[in-house]
Structure 1
Amino acid sequence: MTTAGAECALAAGRAVSPDATQQAIGYPSLFLLVLLGALVPVVPTGALVSSAAAVAFHHRDAAVSSLLVFAVAATAAFLGDAVLYWLGWRGVRSRNGSRWLDRMRAQVAPEPLERARDRLARRGAAVLLVSRLLPAGRIPAMLACLLARMPLHVYLRGNFPAVLGWAATYQLLGMLGGALFPHPWQGVAAAVALTLLITAVPMAWRRLRQPPPHGPAAEPNSG
């Protein structure tokens, strides 16, 4: 996780560097990393966006840099979700399935999938907005939409405000980190820490609320 955070900070620094050459390299790098993170949920895209926003806060043209970070992150996330959903949709419509659909199934436990399907049945595409902001909530919601055979254009229409809300949330976290400290690297560290904390706390809370597995009853002490 430390290495990933360092890579995020490096990419963010490039994305908002005052030097024009670094900007030309950095914004495409930010776009590609967020796009990759949408397709393969290993890259910590939230931490990446927060880091970029923290550095943008210290840029001499902070408003423009922050707007660019937001636009690049939201566009890349939207396109990544669209491609992943399209690949999964091909698997749903195919008699033999697809490796992308199988990969999504392998990433989602039965209980989160059932919760996502229940929310989808009750709220429709509006569930995508909440799922994008929940830790590990995007893939279960996407898989639920695929299994419900939601058309691609309906999914994209519901996912558009979701990625905007996601990008804005992590943008604000990064700006908060940048505002708290005078140096960009300190803001990046604070933004990454806030992002990881927000991601870890709900997951830990859900684990604590899970009932313990029912094992064999302990035998009374006969001594």
Structure 2
Amino acid sequence: MTTAGAECALAASRAVSPDTTQQAIGYPSLFLLVLLGALVPVVPTGAVVSSAAAVAFHHSNAAAFSLGVFAVAAAAAFLGDAVLYALGGRGVRSRNGSRWLDRIREQVAPEPLARAQERLARRGATVLLVSRLVPAGRIPVMLACLLARMPLHRYLRGNLPAVLGWAATYQLLGMLGGALFPHPWQGVVAAVTLTLLIAAAPVVLRRLRQALGRPAAGRPRPARGLRGRG
């Protein structure tokens, strides 16, 4: 290799900074994970976004990287919701249903679906604004919209601010985790812990209410309307 060629190679290697490499790898990975989580609600997308935001907080150009995390996460979530709703809509219109519609139904219990349908009937498409912010609230509301045969364009119009609010909320959680600790991995752990606690809170509260509403073991409830005789 000539001296000029070596100098060119060295200049090119310097031009590709670690931040550029992380952008090239991190943004596509974030997009794919959030998109997959929107289509198959197994990946904890909130934790993914919070982790990426915590790492972005420690970059030299934190503002630009944080804006990139927000844009990529919101775009992936919006696209995933659009694709899933379109696939579910095909099942609603078909006499035989579809595999995707069946999968959506399997993830929703009757009670959450009934509540989502009631809110949809009362508030219309505005119910979508908080559907993503409530843990486990996205799929019941989506199924309620599908069963009500809401057009795709109307669903997407109501879902856009919901997606933006969701991305902003989990990014703020990640930035909070990043601000509390000096090392990125510590911020990631804090962000994931906060996200999982928020996701688990409704389940814990629901089970606590159910436990408090049940009579104590071995103690039958007293019959109503009966009074003791003196």
Normalised to the residue count of structure 1, the TM-score between the two structures is 0.86
Within a 5 Å distance, the mapping from 1:15-26 to structure 2 comes to 18-26=18-26
Could you tell me how far 1:192 is from its partner in structure 2?
0.5
Which deviates further from its counterpart, 109-118 or 195-204?
195-204
Letter in 1 for 2:134: L
Query: What count of residue pairs does the alignment treat as equivalent?
Result: 202
Q: In 1, distance between residues paired with 2:78 and 2:99?
A: 21
The question of whether the paired residues in 2 share the 8 Å contact of 1:18 and 1:59 is answered with: no
Identical aligned pairs, as a percentage? Answer: 84
The question of whether the paired residues in 2 share the 8 Å contact of 1:34 and 1:45 is answered with: yes
Structure 1 or 2, whichever has the larger Rg, is 2
Q: Which residue of 1 aligns with 2:104?
A: 104
1:160-213 residue CA offsets vs partner (Å, 9 max, x unmatched): 000000000000000000111111111111100110111111221122223449
Which deviates further from its counterpart, 57-66 or 21-30?
21-30
Q: Which residue of 2 aligns with 1:170?
A: 170
Kindly indicate whether residue 79 of structure 2 is the aligned counterpart of residue 70 of structure 1: no
Q: Which residue of 2 aligns with 1:49?
A: 49
Letter in 2 for 1:113: L
Q: Which residue of 2 aligns with 1:202?
A: 202
Q: Which residue of 1 aligns with 2:190?
A: 190
Letter in 2 for 1:140: P
Gaps of 5+ in 2: 1-16, 221-230
Pair 216,153 (structure 1): closer, same or farther in 2 beyond 3 Å: farther
Within a 5 Å distance, the mapping from 1:1-223 to structure 2 comes to 18-210=18-210, 211-212=213-214
Could you tell me how far 1:217 is from its partner in structure 2?
8.2
1:88-124 residue CA offsets vs partner (Å, 9 max, x unmatched): 0000001110011011111100000000000001111
Gaps of 5+ in 1: 1-16, 219-223
Q: In 2, distance between residues paired with 1:124 and 1:101?
A: 21
Could you tell me how far 1:58 is from its partner in structure 2?
0.6
Runs of 4+ in 1 over 6 A off after TM superposition: none
1:126-147 residue CA offsets vs partner (Å, 9 max, x unmatched): 1111111111110000000000
Q: In 2, distance between residues paired with 1:167 and 1:22?
A: 20
Q: Match of 1:182, SS? A: coil
The question of whether the paired residues in 2 share the 8 Å contact of 1:179 and 1:187 is answered with: yes
Q: Match of 1:135, SS? A: coil
The question of whether the paired residues in 2 share the 8 Å contact of 1:116 and 1:141 is answered with: yes
Pairwise CA RMSD of aligned residues?
A: 1.9
Letter in 2 for 1:102: D
Q: Match of 1:133, SS? A: coil
Which deviates further from its counterpart, 77-86 or 23-32?
23-32
1:26-58 residue CA offsets vs partner (Å, 9 max, x unmatched): 110100000000000000100000000011111
Pair 27,122 (structure 1): closer, same or farther in 2 beyond 3 Å: same
